[in-house]
Amino acid sequence: MEKEGIKLLTLFEGDDKEIKCGLASRYFKRISHIPSKEDILPEIEKLKPDVVVIDIDMYDRIGGIDTLNLIRDRLDVNTWFE
């Protein structure tokens, strides 16, 4: 059986200044809009990534370290700022 590969999720600010979620794996790429920081965890739960990378420019907007720790603790997903 061929491995699926790592699913990488990125959180970043789009050109329209909205929170965007980009998911990439070996087979597909997807970008979705996240209406508010409260919608970040449900989106991550739904997409089930292996790694979450948060754009450092989003630090103040989404609660930075608190959001990072919440993702790690609640969803058991590796996370870091880039």
- 3-43 pLDDT tens trace: 668 899 999 888 888 889 999 988 889 899 998 888 989 99
Q: What is the DSSP string of 26-80?
A: SS-EEEEEESSGGGHHHHHHHH--SEEEE-GGGHHHHTHHHHHHHHHHHH--EEE
Window from 34-43, 48-57, 65-74 with minimum mean pLDDT: 65-74
pLDDT of residue 43: 92
Global pTM? 0.81
pLDDT of residue 3: 64
2 pLDDT higher than 60: no
